[in-house]
Chain A
Amino acid sequence: MKAFKTLDEKVFGYKVSEEALSLSRRFGYASYIVERYLRLLGMEETEELLKVNERPMPKSYRCNDFLIACDEVEKRLKEKEFLVSKIPFLPHGYEVVFSPYSLGATHEYMMGYYYIQDPGSMLVAYLLDPRKYTTIVDMAAAPGGKATQILQLTEDSSRLIAVEYKRKRIKALRSNLQRMGFSNYLILRHDARKLKIKEADKILLDSPSSGEGIIRKDPGRKARYTRDDLKKIHTIQYELLNKAFDLVKKGGEVLYAACSTAIEEGEYVIHKVLERRKDVEVLHVTSPIGDKAFVEYNGVEFNVEVSKCIRLWPHKHWTEGFFICKMRRI
């Protein structure tokens, strides 16, 4: 634990430069975030990222081919004068180029024919690669984007255990699972860190995060959290990921994701878990998009296995910012 304390100081305790202060004032960010970008990406790319984050994220949806053919959804939305285009790297993903009214107010939405979901979030569930007739735990399931996608990809045949602690969010989770026509699930209202289930085949941990990756959707995220807040979030993520490996069976897989570009919520969480546990290996993911994760930051060299994890960047991949890492318990 002492070693982690020294690492924490290096990862969280960096000084903010004049350049970062200037950029953070210009774009309205907490300065420590911009300083981190500068250290990771350099000046030119940081500016590019900050500029892209100023553009609102286009709406996108995942068609629910458990209930209806994707072509049919596309056709019906076009009849209603929505302009949609297929996202090439996502089998069920469509971008909405123009919408005459809210995408969440169509009859097709009410019938559960699609789910409004961002591309990076969709990609996470594909990378989990859920299989039929297996037991899958979604440790932070609300509002149900990935939970419904898991059941869609397995044709409602996997046994999904969806865990959510917050009462308000759990209603949306249940509502979405029902709206989209699924029934092979079990929702637990509980703190996932205290779960006592054993022998899950796969675990999805789309971790609670600072949401730095969705600034395009929610600009308030630019300065919502202090460094101390980020430390607390990091600790929760670390605890949840450790717990995930207690829940999964030997040979089972854990997919960790965080919709954040913060190294503290990505590489550093994985590094700590790899240092603490000897029963974890990182797997290569075959993703159609994504950059390799970082292996060094502020003089801290991460476990070399971390390089197998991937990152999505708003300015490179036109998705939300995401960190994704697939691991196996050995």
Chain B
Amino acid sequence: MQDEENLALLPKHDLKRVEDFAKALGIPLSSFLSNPVFLSRNGRKDVFDLPLFPKFVVKKYLYSLGFYVGYIKDKVFYPSLILSKRLSRLCFLGICNRVDDFGEKVFLYNRRVFEEHIAEFRKGISIVVNERGEPLGWGVGKAIYVKNKEIKVVDPLKDLGWYLRRGG
């Protein structure tokens, strides 16, 4: 029945992958991770932060616990949606792309947002927020060229609409 493994501290080489992600975003690892642990499942490692260890150390049957940071698969760290929520309060550090109402709709349908709907732009991986500053998910800000003209776009990596598309 069980495909879950016991809870374990995240090894150094995996911690490095999460750290690389934090660097790419431009924030220190300590801003969202203090006690990283993981559970292995279906060929990936689900990474959680456990600032306080549970009173009961349950060693078996664990499915999820604490703050879900993301997962590591094929040596790449993929951040969770809940991490984008938590980090959106750090938008003042310039880690976010801000989109307008139309951009919000498009982004939540997992589609590209074009320049005219981007209020604040950041190149590279970023948290995408709406005009109210509410997090919508993870995206990548980039410049593309159309007829030799540079256009800024935000491509979704993982958006909140995913909760619905995966069936709740």
Chain A residues with CB under 8 Å of chain B are 104-105, 107, 109-112, 135, 143, 159, 161, 164, 170-172, 174-179, 181, 183-190, 197-199
Contacts and interface: CB of A to CB of B under 8 A. Distances in A.
B65 A186 contact: yes
B63 A187 contact: yes
B64 A186 contact: yes
B82 A186 contact: no
Contacts of B161: 110
Interface in B140-168: 160-161, 163-164, 166-168
Given A110-B161, A111-B134, A172-B168, 17 more contacts: A107-B108, A110-B160, A110-B164, A135-B56, A159-B54, A161-B56, A161-B58, A170-B63, A171-B166, A174-B63, A176-B168, A183-B68, A185-B64, A185-B65, A186-B66, A189-B4, A199-B56
A189 B65 contact: no
A186 to B, nearest CB: 4
B66 A110 contact: no
Residues of B in contact with A, size category: 20 to 34
B128 interface: no
19 contacts: A107-B108, A107-B160, A135-B56, A159-B54, A164-B63, A176-B168, A178-B68, A178-B80, A178-B82, A179-B81, A183-B68, A185-B65, A186-B64, A186-B66, A187-B63, A189-B4, A189-B63, A190-B61, A197-B58
B164 A104 contact: yes
Nearest to B62: A188
Contacts of B58: 161, 186, 188, 197
Nearest to B83: A178
Contacts of A161: 56, 58
Contacts of A111: 134-135, 160
